Structure 1
Amino acid sequence: MHRSGATMAWNVFKFCTALRGLGSIMILLVLGVVGVTYYAVVLTNFGPALSAGGLDSLVAVLVLILFHSLLVMLLWSYFSVVFTDPGSVPPNWRPTIDEERGEADPLVGTEFSNVQADPNQRIRYCRKCNQLKPPRCHHCSVCGRCVLKMDHHCVWVVNCVGALNYKYFLLFLFYTFLETTLVTASLLPHFIAFFSDGEIPGTPGSLATTFLAFVLNLAFALSVLGFLIMHISLVAANTTTIEAYEKKTTPKWRYDLGRRKNFEQVFGMDKKYWFIPSYSDEDIRKMPALQGLDYPSKPDFDSQ
């Protein structure tokens, strides 16, 4: 990952390298949590309730429809993050004239102030990859390469989160929060029943699975909510986790175009595609930022 001398003496992302050996085990863990949850919600509780009749059946139908719909979107978004390359620097990439004037190394000059950049500032260069670095590109020590608009390396998806899969990662967080919240709410009466004096129907195995599914989904709902709020604030400011850490409290940021345009930089302009892990062909053609190499900036920065 990108380092800037003494300011990066303690890198909050360094812990990722210690988890390099986990690999696809994390994918199996995610699928394991999904499997336990599916067994508890569909096979143990609300599937059998379909034949109960009355209000119980209606509630079961609604829960199962919502559960499966959110599960499809969750898994679609998750595997889109896993299997989508976050963005690599093209071979023999060279910056344009505008980028040479506007990009300094590291995250200083015209990116954070109204002072004219020093003409002697060099183009950003990665000594590990021995190549020039496009704007907002950072080196990932886990992947061992430069990643376009790198946000962070996520062990849960066994991949970097960058320009080409950041939207998919956000949708994964969004649908995970909705799904885990739904499961927590739907299993809450069953969880409370564990602490009542009455007899609880079901086998010991099904009861244990229900209990475990409730605890896991409650924990994930609370933790994912924190990450979701953090990334919403990052999208609103058109910055990444790494950039927010490196620029610290400096108020000036050349890529902050306003909340609407900042949102479109990640999700595209076609509203039909906002909530699915994909982009329209028109957005890909008309929005260079989605390719991770060229980003529009504030006019007052470009004029400097």
Structure 2
Amino acid sequence: MGSNINLFKLCSALRVLGYFMILLFAAIVALSYYAVVLITWGPLLFHSPLRLPSFFSAFFVLLLFHILLILLTWSYIMVVLNDPGSVPHNWRHHQQQQLRSDFNLETAPPTPSPAYCSRCQNGKPPRCHHCSICQRCVLKMDHHCIWVVNCVGARNYKYFLLFLLYTFLETTLDCLALVPSFIRFFGGNKNHSLSPGGFAVIFLASILNLAFALSLLCFVVMHISLLLSNTTSVEVHEKKKGVRWMYDLGWKRNFEQVFGTKKALWLFPLFSKEDLENIPALRGIDFPTRSDVDV
């Protein structure tokens, strides 16, 4: 008996899992906030203002915690809501028209046809790949991330990298900030104010943040390597060993292809209008290549 099941459409079910991941992310943030701010460091800041060492320590930890929380939440919202970049409608037709207008039809040299997606029925610009979950081609696709219910591509890759970085820093800070509570609790300090329920919250928050910090460290290192070589996760399998990647322009220009040239905005999920206009790679259609590499 024949089957008409489309396996690519089944991939769309992963989007449902993605919405659950958003709720899980919010729950972990809330749990960490409760453990770090309300149980551990908040009381030191508001209940012991005359104990200056404790006050300033609590102020510094809480300030850094909230700064990182704002930045990671901002980056997360940006990578969730911003489109990674879609192929313009009838892109192949437009490119062919441009080629035909540059030459006389009778004397025009033969030109290779642009890549074509049989599922989207459209042309594929360089570094573009089809996402089976989103059911479309994505510009400079890196991967589909279930944590953000979105593809990571040309127009939101910076936001994704900042989200990774700030989440790693926040989870690491949470782990370090909760260590004193464990020391007081297990050290037999009779003055600790932790209830069994409060300790359970701190213990769970510590385990979750430690697990995320260790796993995110691997992703941060991997994506820094990809960023500095101007490579996506998909393209790792396309690069030829022993040949320098044709999009590798040097680490400084590779960095600017993703983060822009405005240093003041590097740490924020924002782009300047000038960078969006002057750096084609940020739009995801055209990418400069090394002049000494045959393409």
Instruction: Name the TM-score class by shorter chain.
Output: 0.7 to 0.9
Match of 1:9 in 2: none
Say which of 134, 138, 141 aligns to 1:147.
138
Instruction: Provide the rounded CA distance (Å) in 2 between the counterparts of 1:43 and 1:248.
Output: 53
Spell out the pairing of 1:1-304 with structure 2 (5 A cutoff): 19-50=14-45, 51-52=47-48, 53-94=51-92, 96=95, 122-199=113-190, 200-247=192-239, 249-301=241-293
* 1:193–1:251 distance in 2 versus 1, CA, 3 Å: farther
Question: Letter of the aligned partner of 1:86 in structure 2?
Answer: P
Deviation at 1:188, TM superposition (A): 1.3
Identity among equivalent pairs (%): 56
TM-score normalised by the chain length of structure 2? 0.86
Q: SS of 1:136's equivalent?
A: coil
Deviation at 1:207, TM superposition (A): 1.2
* 1:265–1:16 distance in 2 versus 1, CA, 3 Å: farther
Question: Letter of the aligned partner of 2:88 in structure 1?
Answer: P
* 1:16–1:242 distance in 2 versus 1, CA, 3 Å: farther
Instruction: Provide the rounded CA distance (Å) in 2 between the counterparts of 1:150 and 1:45.
Output: 42
1:264-298 per-position Cα deviation (integer Å, ceiling 9, x unaligned): 00000010110100100110111111000000111
Q: SS of 1:241's equivalent?
A: coil
Instruction: Provide the rounded CA distance (Å) in 1 between the counterparts of 2:21 and 2:184.
Output: 32
1:140-172 per-position Cα deviation (integer Å, ceiling 9, x unaligned): 001000000000000111110000000000000
* 1:198–1:230 distance in 2 versus 1, CA, 3 Å: same
Instruction: Provide the rounded CA distance (Å) in 2 between the counterparts of 1:206 and 1:41.
Output: 11
Q: Report how many aligned residue pairs link the two structures.
A: 270
Whose Rg is larger?
A: 2
Q: SS of 1:298's equivalent?
A: coil
Deviation at 1:300, TM superposition (A): 1.8
Deviation at 1:197, TM superposition (A): 4.0
Match of 2:102 in 1: none
List alignment gaps of at least 5 residues for structure 1. Answer: 1-14, 101-118
List alignment gaps of at least 5 residues for structure 2. Answer: 1-9, 100-109
Q: SS of 1:125's equivalent?
A: strand
TM-score normalised by the chain length of structure 1? 0.83
Q: SS of 1:299's equivalent?
A: coil
* 1:79–1:248 distance in 2 versus 1, CA, 3 Å: farther
Q: SS of 2:147's equivalent?
A: coil
Whether contact under 8 Å (1:42, 1:64) holds in the other structure is yes
Instruction: Provide the rounded CA distance (Å) in 1 between the counterparts of 2:176 and 2:18.
Output: 32
Whether contact under 8 Å (1:191, 1:214) holds in the other structure is no
